[in-house]
Amino acid sequence: MYAPLPRWAFASLAVLLTAGAIVLVALLWRRETNLAELRAKAVSATREARWDEAIHFCRTWADQFPGTAEPREIQLEAGVRSRRLPVAIEAARAMLRAGPANPELQEKLALWLFLTGELEEADKLCAALRKENPGREGLLLPLHADILQRLGETAKAAELVDQMLLSGGKNPQILTMRGSIYLEEGNYPKAVATLREAKSLSAQPTEKNLHYLALALARNGDTREAEALFAQLRSRQDLEIWDKYGRPDSIPYKVNLVETLIHLGKREEALGILSEIRREAPDNPYLERLATTASAMPAGGGK
Amino acid sequence: MTIPQTKPEQSGTGPAWSIRRLFPVVLGLAVALSAGLWFFLPVALDAGREKTSPPAKEVETGGLWFDDATAEAGIGFQHFDSATARHLIHETLGSGIAWIDYDADGWPDLFCVQSAPIEGKRPANLTSKLYRNRGDGTFEDVSEAAGLSKVGFGMGAAVGDCDNDGFPDLLVTYLGELVLYHNQPAQDGKRCLVDIAGKAGLKNPHWGTSAAWGDVDGDGDLDLYVCNYCEVDPKKYPVCQEPRTQVAMCCPPSHFPAVSHKLFRNNGNLTFTDVSVESGITAPPPAPGLAVVLVDLDLDGKLDIYVANDMKPAYLFHNQGAGRFVEKALVSGCALGLDGSLVAGMGIAIGDVDGTGLPSVFVTNFEKKPNILFLNRGKLDFRESSMRSGLGGPSIPFLKFGTEFLDADLDGNLDAVVANGHIHRAARKFTDNDYPQKAQIFRGLGSAKFVDVSARSGAYFSTPKVGRGIAMADYNRDGLPDLAFSNVGDGVKLLRNTTRTPNAGISLDLIPQGSSAPCNAVGARVVAKTGESKKTAFVVGGGSYLSGSEQRIMLGLGSASQLDALHVIWPSGRRQDLSGTSLKTGAAFRIREGSPAEAFQSPKGRSKDK
């Protein structure tokens, strides 16, 4: 029925099969080599904090070996340690897609999404987590309330905050959140009372508490106290910046110190530092004004 | 029977034998070709798509569209990058751009501020540039003819007709000085710009950044606000390192003393008086100012001043009348960001984004912090609404500078555009960001909601740049707002708005009494009604970052074909009702205070019709 295959066809087939086999073996060998190489590179780059490389190798590794969880785990670690949250988020999403439910990782992902402004996804994740893991609600409620408030879902946020206040007592952070919601709702007297209560419960009130209390006071008509709180907040933020970027002996720091000294009535000290600053920054009307203020103060004062 | 047929093949001669022997090769080639096509064809198609107009899909999904028209327009400005190995803070800010109709022919011309080496010799060719709009989509460089020979460390520009002669003048801030270009007739009958800052009494030996014109004392001429950044002596420049990685970087402004800003009162005779102290603007602690806008925030008929400060609370100078101001940003809720956090305020945009008829304030911010939207609730009560608006979240990874609100598709909802770019060249060593970054554009959905459409708004929004200034104008008079961007060490980019939209708008040039230039209508407000819809637009002084937009009101009116009512509230307080006049959409009008609207420079055909 069939004509015998010619010799050239056998030869071609043999060549093709051999070539195919060689390519296959080479690919498998290369794959193994790649896997080992990529792993070693990703691990060492992460260990040595070479973040760009670490992330690149992890991504390549994950792309080439999609079934492997390890590259995503290392990527997540690299993302967190290098404070590159979008990288950690990418890894966490991939791990959650591929692996079984992991409430701990989901919680972290929700927080990272909140911090990077992906609030819709964070909201959905929190809602799902709370539904599936009622036991973990305590950890999730404050985050979810914060997310809802930022999304403008004030009523839903208030519901969660009230739930926390009922079950967990008066926590300054939660009270601050409640106060800020009252503020948003336009209920200024209640906002002031709640934020004051939160402030009284904390030795060192948070920036958030000072800010919202000052705003509530201002909207409630108590501008003087509001301005005093804003001044406190401003000094604290200045100090935070100097702590972060260093040089606490810089001129702005000294100016701030002078302002504080004037506020405390310490005339001589204020004038001493002022003359030092004015040598470094002459012709500064604000410094001149501070000097006039300090000079006009009674000598040897101090509260 | 079959043997004879196979013979020629077995013999190895003839065409059939050759084809079969070559079969594996041909097969291999075919596979390779297919693979090549499979891989490269979409890339080639995609590349082609970026260069042309938006595909239908993009329009359906809500993209806006801008084409880079820089080359065809003949804008060749190249910003001088003052980078040094010392990482001076000066290197970070870039410089701005401003639209100015310097020859008053109705076509906005483009002024580009040039920088220079911070120290040492400055090459004479580093002058700012003025590009005259020919009215056909192209520009000509008229810098030399206009007399622009000044070389210096230029920062920002602000346009205003300070002598009310109908020809806009130009204020340019430099490190250590101000230049006031008075617009004068040239010998050849054209116009030239002559620096009269010294004679005019405009002195600011500090580091001026953004500036804005506006009649803050209500005497009929434009006064001037100048932001100052900080006092830096390059000879005593400290070494700064990124706290976590110890990588060398430019020092933050908190390392240097800030200096109060300046307010100059226009004396009406081309001289100015420094009223910074008596006006009250030096009352709050000095702060590094980067952007300023003059706008009546509480609609009490007096221009207020809003200033974005870098890592310090913003200022809101509430106008008390008679040239006196009281700072109220903190108590008004528009000084700080999320939960009271500091904002590294860079740029400002103003607009009625929620249909309340009030000007809300949008401020750009540092990387890893969102841009901040302060919704105006009236009576100087602002609500921070950054994240819920959709303007905050997508902005977090970027370091943001210039910004503008515009209605790019004339649907009646303001859109927002933001220029991004890091301040540290070695940013990649200590953040997950690069020095050049993509600009962003947000489509407005109404009710203070926005969606990031940068990925489908044209190639410029996918190309990383070290973006700084943004200035808006309808440079080709097609009724759609266009954009210009300034970039550090790079060319100014002109983006032509080619959004395909069935919507129509109306363009209005407002000319207040006693003036003949639209740029002097700062403080005017327009309320337009079509059916149930009411739109409010403001003419503001300053805004964006180091830059100045055209002060033409471009109202998007959706599918309406005619305005039902139009009210203009002039800086003088006069309320003018233009409802009786036939104001067809798709047209441009010039309205002089107290006079009926005149059709003026009707928009030419849109890009879609070309």
Q: What is the pLDDT of residues B507-555, one digit of tens each?
A: 999 999 988 888 899 999 999 999 889 999 999 999 999 999 999 999 9
Residue B201 burial by Cβ neighbours in a 10 Å radius (0-12, 13-18, 19+): middle
Task: Dump pLDDT digits (tens) for A28-50.
Answer: 777 667 888 889 999 999 999 89
Q: Which of B21, B311, B385 sits opposite A241 (nearest CB)?
A: B311
What average pLDDT does the structure give for chain B?
A: 89
Residue that wins the pLDDT comparison between A204 and B499: B499
Q: Does the distance separating the beta carbons of B340 and A245 come in below 8 Å?
A: no
Evaluate whether ipTM surpasses 0.95: no
Average of per-residue pLDDT across A82-88 = 90
Across A67-76, average pLDDT: 92
Determine contact, residues B545/B469, Cβ cutoff 8 Å: yes
Residue B522 near residue B294, CB atoms below 8 Å:
yes
Mean pLDDT, residues B352-366 taken together: 98
The answer to whether the beta carbons of residues B413 and B407 sit under 8 Å apart is yes
Q: Note the pLDDT of residue B7.
A: 34
Chain B partners within 8 Å of A230 (Cβ):
313, 330-331, 335
Confidence at residue B32, expressed as pLDDT on a 0 to 100 scale: 52
What distance in Å separates residue B189's CA from the closest CA in chain A? Answer: 44
Which range (A145-149, A274-278, B281-285, B367-371) has the least confidence?
A: A274-278
User: Distance between CA atoms of B88 and B253, rounded to whole angstroms?
Assistant: 11
The region that residue B521 occupies, defined by phi over 0 for left and psi between -120 and 50 for alpha, beta otherwise, is alpha
Q: pLDDT digit string (tens) for B464-492?
A: 999 999 999 999 999 999 999 999 999 99
Mean pLDDT of A227-231: 92
* Run of H or E including B383: strand B382-384
* Residue A107 confidence (pLDDT): 94
At residue A264, the pLDDT reads 65
What is residue A261's DSSP assignment?
H
CB contact under 8 A, B338 and A286: no
Instruction: Determine the Cα–Cα distance for residues B361 and A229; give it in Å rounded to an integer.
Output: 24
Number of Cβ within 10 Å of residue A30's Cβ equals: 12
pLDDT value at position B42?
40
Contact B396 A116 (CB under 8 A): yes
Cβ of A215 under 8 Å from any chain B Cβ?
yes
- Report the C-alpha gap between B278 and A289 in whole angstroms: 13
What distance in Å separates the CA atoms of residue B89 and residue B162, rounded to the nearest whole number? 32
Is it the case that residue A56 has pLDDT exceeding 80?
yes
Is B283 touching A (CB cutoff 8 A)? no
Amino acid making up residue B445: L
Please indicate if any CB of chain B lies within 8 Å of the CB of A210. yes
Report yes or no: B179 and B150 within 8 Å, Cβ to Cβ. yes
Helix (H, G, I), strand (E, B) or coil at B135: coil
Q: Which of residues 19 through 48 in chain A touch B, CB cutoff 8 A? A: none
**% of chain B with per-residue pLDDT over 70:** 88
The mean pLDDT of A62-85, rounded to a whole number, is 91
CA A252 – CA B432 distance, rounded (Å): 30
Residue B258: partners with Cβ closer than 8 Å, 6 or more residues away: A252, B228, B229, B230, B231, B285, B286, B287, B288, B312
Element (H, E) at B554: strand B553-556
Whether the predicted pLDDT of B212 surpasses 50: yes
- B113 vs B547: CA distance, rounded Å: 9
Using the predicted structure, report yes or no on whether residue B15 has a pLDDT greater than 70: no
In angstroms, the separation between the Cα of residue A207 and the nearest Cα of chain B is 6
- Cβ–Cβ < 8 Å for B381, B387: no
Condensed to tens digits (0 to 9), the pLDDT of residues A93-129 reads 999 999 888 999 999 999 999 999 999 999 999 999 9
pLDDT for position B37: 45
* CA dihedral (A108, A113, A116, A119) positive or negative: negative
Q: B219 in the Ramachandran plot: left (φ > 0), alpha (ψ -120 to 50) or beta?
A: alpha
Q: Mean pLDDT across the stretch B310-320?
A: 97
Residues of chain B with Cβ-Cβ distance to A180 below 8 Å are 339
CB-CB under 8 Å, A117 with B387: yes
Nearest-by-Cβ selection for B10 from A6, A184, A285:
A6
CA A195, chain centre distance (Å): 24
| CA A210/CA A231 separation, integer angstroms | 10
Contacts of A285 in chain B (CB under 8 A): 259-260, 276-277, 282
pLDDT at B378: 97
Residue B286: CA atoms inside 13 Å, Cβ hemisphere, count? 31
Average pLDDT of every residue of chain A:
88
Q: Do A151 and B388 touch (CB under 8 A)?
A: yes
Please indicate whether, in this complex, the C-beta atoms of A211 and B383 are within 8 angstroms of each other: no
CB A123 within 8 A of CB A141: no
Distance (Å) from the alpha carbon of A88 to chain B's nearest alpha carbon: 12
* Per-residue DSSP letter, B79: P
Judged by CB atoms within 8 Å, which residues 163-192 of A form the interface with B?
180, 184
> Are B255 and A245 in contact (CB < 8 Å)?
yes
Q: Under the phi-then-psi rule, with left for phi > 0, alpha for psi from -120 to 50, and beta for the rest, what region is B336? A: beta
pLDDT for B121-151, tens place per residue? 999 999 999 999 999 999 999 999 999 999 9
- pLDDT surpasses 60 at B18: no
Rounded distance between C-alpha atoms, residue B58 and residue B440, angstroms: 16
Q: Please tell me the distance from the alpha carbon of residue B381 to that of residue B328, in angstroms, as a whole number.
A: 10
Closest partner residue to B330 (CB to CB) among A15, A86, A230 is A230
Reported pTM: 0.86
**How does residue B25 score in pLDDT terms, banded at 50, 70 and 90?**
low
Contact B20 A223 (CB under 8 A): no
- Return the higher-pLDDT residue of B212 and A238: B212
Closest CA to B288 of B251, B238, B248: B251
Percentage, residues of chain B above pLDDT 90: 76
Query: What's the pLDDT score for residue A119?
Result: 95
pLDDT computed for residue B54 by the predictor: 45
- The pLDDT of residue B604 is 61
Question: Which residues 226-285 of A have a C-beta within 8 angstroms of B?
Answer: 226-227, 230, 233-234, 237-238, 241-242, 244-247, 250-252, 255, 259, 277, 281, 283-285
Q: Which of A211, A205, A151, A201 is nearest to A180 (CA)?
A: A211
The DSSP bridge pattern shows strands B541-542 and B289-295 to be: antiparallel
Nearest to A286 among B282, B341, B431 (CB): B282
**CB contacts, 8 Å: A289 with chain B:** 282
Torsion on CA atoms B526, B529, B533, B534, rounded to nearest 10: 20
Q: Are A255 and B257 in contact (CB under 8 A)?
A: yes
Evaluate if residue B40 carries a pLDDT over 60: no
Does residue B19 surpass a pLDDT of 70? no
Q: Nearest by CB to B21, from A8, A87, A208: name it.
A: A8
Residue among B539, B438, B530, B534 nearest B485 (CA): B438
Residues of chain B contacting residue A9, judged by C-beta atoms under 8 Å apart: 20
Please compute the mean of the pLDDT values over residues A243-256 and round it to a whole number: 71
Contacts of B394 in chain A (CB under 8 A): 117
Read off the pLDDT of each residue in B183-208 and give the average, rounded to a whole number: 96
Q: Does B323 touch chain A (CB under 8 A)?
A: no
Please list the helix, strand and coil fractions of chain B in percent, rounded to the nearest 5, in that order: 15, 35, 50
CB pairs under 8 A between A and B: 129
E strand residue ranges, B437-501: 440-446, 449-452, 467-473, 482-487, 493-497
Q: What is the pLDDT of residues A154-198, one digit of tens each?
A: 999 999 999 999 998 889 999 999 999 999 999 999 999 999 999
Closest Cβ opposite residue A285 in set B9, B260, B313: B260
* B81-92 pLDDT per residue, tens: 999 888 899 999
pLDDT at A20: 87
Q: What is the pLDDT of residues B91-113, one digit of tens each?
A: 999 999 999 999 999 999 999 99
pLDDT band for B29, please (50, 70, 90 cuts). low
Of the candidates B257, B383, B393, which has its C-beta nearest A284's C-beta? B257
Q: Which of B2-6, B438-442, B552-556 has the lowest mean pLDDT?
A: B2-6
Chain B residues inside the 8 Å CB shell of A242: 254
d(CA B371, CA B161): 32
Quote the CA–CA distance of A68 and A82 in Å, as a whole number.
23
Phi-psi region of B14 (alpha: psi -120 to 50; beta: other; left: phi over 0): left
Crossing angle of helices A119-132/A103-115, nearest 10°? 160
**Does the pLDDT at position B333 exceed 70?**
yes
Chain A partners within 8 Å of B341 (Cβ): 207
For residues A148-154, give the mean pLDDT.
Answer: 95
Query: Which residues of chain B does A116 touch, with a Cβ-Cβ cutoff of 8 Å?
Result: 393, 396-397
Q: Which residues numbered 37-56 in B keep a CB inside 8 Å of some CB on A?
A: none
- CB contact, 8 Å: B585 with chain A? no
Nearest CA in chain A to B3: A3
Most confident of A233-237, B476-480, B557-561: B476-480
User: What is the average pLDDT across B231-236?
Assistant: 87
Tell me which residue in A87, A207, A247 faces B238 most closely, judged by beta carbons: A247
pLDDT band of B562, cuts 50, 70, 90: confident
Tokens 């233009």, residue located: B578
Q: Quick one: tokens of B449?
A: 């909601």
CB contact under 8 A, A152 and B385: yes
Distance from CA of A236 to the nearest CA of B (A): 11
Is B187 in CB contact (< 8 Å) with chain A? Answer: no
The shortest CB-CB distance from B388 to any of A15, A86, A152 is to A152
Q: How far is A221 from chain B (nearest CA, A)?
A: 10
